[in-house]
């Protein structure tokens, strides 16, 4: 039987946006049934390991509570299909999607606020994970179920051959990148290796996504908070300019970034590392199973990112649970969210070599070393807890990421461009985006 759903529709800017059109609580007019089956959508490849992991989590939840969950895995056109269901007033009960979708989903009126008093395990969630689920107005609109943070992969065999130490700061990092580029670390007598693997395409904002790890470590930022949920552009600050110049030198002066990086997203960049063309790669833990199989776990190591001019802050990301508006079983939504962030739910989601839904646990009581004895996962967990930073939950972070990616990409593609001018132009574009979103500081 099709359950009723509640949602309003409208337009925001030129894109189709669905918004709440009532001042009352989302879904307050929907008759509740605490035993109704929950419909869960997860943004992952159907039939893939992500779906299998979600099914395992749903099965464990059913065993624990008796509530049934119907899992649907969708990857292509996920957002479009969700909009279609919203237009039909038939949203799924729960959505598992990227944390960066919070601002957009909130702006579309698709979410209901989460009462943390009804999520008994919420007190065990990491502070930055919990904060990642808050909107600019302070409402808790999602809960993290999985986290990841950026670590540095290094070809250990190359490093030892060249008698180099693990880089502790940016100077060490640049020297290693140069050595991997010029000193024939693979010993084949050819100049065919490069220091750093970097996906710097504009596709989906990859250049900005990758560069954030260096920008934040320098104390710079794309946009910076100005209080009361307002933001201002920050790419012309001294720290941001310093980060751009340093990173640009790696490509333009040292030639230490793989050729064609400005046209590459992650798949071809991954291939440069596993094929022995690049010696360092700043990336999350999700590639460990792949590189272990293709490259061999003895060939590379995982270490924290080296300290920048300010610190070693890196990009934290992950999956979030969104409780959708209009559910006929809000108690069941709360129960699933509570189970997913609980120690048992987190351990369930972490099991397996590839078919897991939880990469790094968001529950502070879970000891990752007891679930995954591989010490590299512990390294990533330590990085997340000590240095991980999420992107802000503004209404449209995607627009900011895409716009900044286009400038970073251009600066890396054309070494004759004037850095200061390009960043001034970028700040003007960012100011316009912030104004459009209604979050521009006066």
What band does 156 get if pLDDT is binned at 50, 70 and 90? Answer: very high
Could you tell me if 321 and 357 are in contact, meaning their C-beta atoms sit under 8 angstroms apart? no
The SS3 assignment for 424 reads: helix
Residue 29, pLDDT score: 78
What band does 28 get if pLDDT is binned at 50, 70 and 90? Answer: low
> pLDDT tens digits for 179-191?
999 999 999 999 9
* The residue to which tokens 């290693």 are assigned: 176
Nearest alpha carbon to residue 340 among 42, 136, 34? 42
| pLDDT of 17 above 90 | no
Its domain, for residue 421, covers 151-315+394-436
| pLDDT of 116 above 80 | yes
How many helices (H) and strands (E) are present in the chain, helices listed first? 16, 14
| pLDDT of 9 above 60 | no
| pLDDT of 355 above 90 | no
Mean pLDDT throughout 281-297? Answer: 96
| pLDDT of 18 above 60 | no
> pLDDT tens digits for 215-231?
999 999 999 999 999 99
- The answer to whether residue 4 sits within a structural domain is no
429 and 289 in a common domain: yes
242 and 117 in a common domain: no
Least confident of 4-13, 37-46, 338-347, 365-374: 4-13
What band does 12 get if pLDDT is binned at 50, 70 and 90? Answer: very low
| pLDDT of 212 above 60 | yes
* Residues above pLDDT 90, as percent of the chain: 91
94 and 178 in a common domain: no
- The answer to whether residue 2 sits within a structural domain is no
Mean pLDDT throughout 282-311? Answer: 97
- The answer to whether residue 104 sits within a structural domain is yes
354 and 403 in a common domain: no
Mean pLDDT throughout 98-114? Answer: 95
pTM for the full model?
A: 0.91
Mean pLDDT throughout 324-346? Answer: 98
In terms of DSSP bridges, do strands 230-233 and 223-227 run parallel, antiparallel, or are they unpaired?
Answer: antiparallel
The SS3 assignment for 261 reads: helix
Compute how many other C-beta atoms are within 10 angstroms of the C-beta atom of residue 427.
20
Rg of the chain's alpha carbons, rounded to an integer? 22
DSSP state of 360: B
Residue 353, pLDDT score: 73
211 and 170 in a common domain: yes
Quote the number of domains for the chain.
2
What integer best gives the mean pLDDT of the chain?
93
The SS3 assignment for 282 reads: strand
- Looking up residue 130, the CATH number of its domain turns out to be 3.40.190.10
């Amino acid at each position: 039987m099709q359950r009723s759903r509640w949602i309003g529709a409208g337009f925001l800017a030129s894109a189709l946006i669905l918004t709440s059109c009532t001042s009352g609580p989302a879904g307050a007019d929907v008759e509740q049934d605490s035993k109704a089956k929950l419909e869960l959508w997860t943004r992952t490849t159907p039939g893939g390991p992500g779906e299998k992991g979600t099914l395992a989590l749903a099965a464990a939840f059913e065993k624990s509570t008796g509530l049934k969950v119907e899992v649907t895995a969708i990857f292509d056109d996920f957002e479009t299909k969700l909009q279609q269901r919203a237009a039909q007033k038939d949203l799924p009960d729960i959505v598992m999607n990227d944390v960066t979708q919070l601002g957009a989903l909130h702006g579309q009126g698709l979410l209901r606020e989460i009462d943390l008093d009804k999520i008994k395990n919420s007190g065990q969630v990491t502070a930055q994970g919990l904060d990642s689920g808050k909107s600019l107005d302070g409402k808790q609109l999602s809960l993290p179920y999985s986290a990841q943070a950026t670590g540095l992969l290094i070809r250990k065999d190359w490093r030892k051959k060249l008698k180099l130490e693990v880089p502790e700061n940016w100077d060490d990092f640049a020297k290693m990148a140069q050595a991997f580029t010029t000193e024939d670390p693979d010993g084949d007598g050819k100049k065919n290796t490069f220091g750093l693997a970097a996906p710097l395409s504009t596709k989906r904002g990859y250049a900005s996504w990758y560069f954030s790890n260096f920008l934040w470590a320098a104390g710079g930022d794309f946009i910076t908070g100005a209080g009361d949920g307002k933001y201002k552009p920050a790419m012309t600050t001294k720290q941001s300019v310093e980060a751009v110049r340093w990173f640009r030198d790696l490509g333009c002066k040292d030639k230490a970034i793989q050729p064609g990086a400005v046209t590459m997203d992650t798949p071809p960049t991954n291939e440069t590392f596993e094929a022995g063309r690049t010696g360092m790669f700043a990336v999350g833990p999700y590639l460990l199973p792949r590189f272990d199989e293709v490259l061999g776990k003895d060939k590379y190591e995982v270490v924290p990112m080296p300290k920048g001019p300010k610190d070693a802050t890196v990009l934290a990301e992950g999956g979030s649970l969104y409780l959708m508006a209009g559910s006929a079983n809000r108690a069941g939504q709360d129960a699933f969210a509570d189970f997913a962030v609980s120690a048992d739910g987190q351990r369930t989601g972490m099991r397996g070599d590839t078919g897991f839904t939880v990469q790094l646990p968001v529950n502070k009581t879970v000891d990752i070393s007891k679930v995954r004895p591989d010490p590299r996962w512990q390294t990533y967990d330590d990085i997340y807890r000590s240095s991980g930073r999420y992107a802000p939950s503004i209404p449209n972070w995607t627009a900011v990421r895409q716009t900044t990616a286009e400038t970073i990409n251009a600066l890396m593609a054309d070494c004759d461009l004037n850095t200061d001018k390009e960043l001034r132009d970028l700040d003007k574009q960012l100011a316009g985006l912030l104004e459009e979103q209604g979050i521009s500081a006066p």
